[in-house]
Structure 1
Amino acid sequence: MPVLPQKPIIGSVEIVDLPELGLYNIQAKIDTGAATSVLHCENFEIFEKNGHRYIRCELDEHPETKQGKFITITFPIHRERVVKSSFGQAELRHIFITKIKLFDTLFDIKLSVRDRSNMSYPMLLGRNFINKKFLVDVSQKYLAKNTG
């Protein structure tokens, strides 16, 4: 029987960094039932410049404490897709690519944004990101701590 390479184990909630966005120590819920990963934002707008579509949004610099100190980010839209929310509502999501840090390692992640102010966690990591990178132990939390 072949030996499988060991994948890092993540818990049901992890603390992640999004360095290209200037966001650190973000609580992210791991959701294997969700296909896409999503980040909370207050407002967003889609605009076109030089034939390319961009998304601009306001992010709370410290969403875990809800201090209300916002930063504005702008990213090129990688793609758009219709996503069904956990409530069964279909909505168009604008996806961009950025970096996420777990286990002191940077990974590419495709993120969409939406208002998650009524949710327990400002970020959700879906199975498109988790797949082939991590195993999930739902009985644990905070296994992927970054040290620096």
Structure 2
Amino acid sequence: MVILKEKRIIGSIETVDLPELGLYNIAAKIDTGAETSVLHCEYFEVFEQDGHRFIRCHITGHPEDDEAEILQLTFPIHRERVVKSSFGQAETRHIFLTKIKLFDTLFNIKLSVRDRSSMSYPMLLGRNFISGKFLVDVSKKHLAKNTF
């Protein structure tokens, strides 16, 4: 007999917070076909300082607001990997560690950034984050609402 650990159910679209980045109420598409999670950024640069590699991101505080403040955030790069986009194009993704809040609970997440301005949602949650924590009910949306 297999005993499964209790997993919360999330919908195809969730609203999440990234408190370490100062970003709240971000619409995130759940994508079990994507391996990594990604956040929209206007521009990013990779640089080295004191022998460590960092990524500096320019992220809109509220992507749905055309006049929102653009935040400049800097993180140490956790790792780099080559990822094939859904269009089959290979690119290097720079992954950093932060926290994400769903169901009023903080979870660790590995995030990469890229320009998602042509996409419907500013964030995508991939299976590396979802796996082992959540089940996805694609017929539902916004099940993981934070109360504050």
What is residue 10 of structure 1 aligned with on the other side? 10
Query: Counterpart amino acid of 2:41?
Result: C
How far apart, CA to CA, are the structure 1 residues paired with 2:84 and 2:74?
Answer: 25
Contiguous gaps of at least 5 residues in structure 1: none
Q: RMSD of the TM alignment (CA)?
A: 0.9
Q: CA deviation at 1:3?
A: 4.0
What is residue 136 of structure 1 aligned with on the other side? 136
What is residue 86 of structure 1 aligned with on the other side? 86
What is residue 48 of structure 1 aligned with on the other side? 48
* TM-score for both structures, normalised by structure 2: 0.97
What is residue 116 of structure 2 aligned with on the other side? 116
Runs of 4+ in 1 over 6 A off after TM superposition: none
How far apart, CA to CA, are the structure 2 residues paired with 1:78 and 1:32?
Answer: 22
How far apart, CA to CA, are the structure 2 residues paired with 1:42 and 1:98?
Answer: 19
Is 1:105 equivalent to 2:105 in the alignment? yes
Q: CA deviation at 1:5?
A: 2.6
SS of residue in 2 equivalent to 1:87: coil
135-144 vs 1-10, which moves further: 1-10
How far apart, CA to CA, are the structure 2 residues paired with 1:66 and 1:98?
Answer: 25
How far apart, CA to CA, are the structure 2 residues paired with 1:64 and 1:126?
Answer: 22
Contiguous gaps of at least 5 residues in structure 2: none
Residue-by-residue CA offset, 1:80-121 (whole Å, 9 max, x unaligned): 000000100000000000000000000000000000000000
* TM-score for both structures, normalised by structure 1: 0.97
Matched residue pairs, number?
148
Identity among equivalent pairs (%): 76
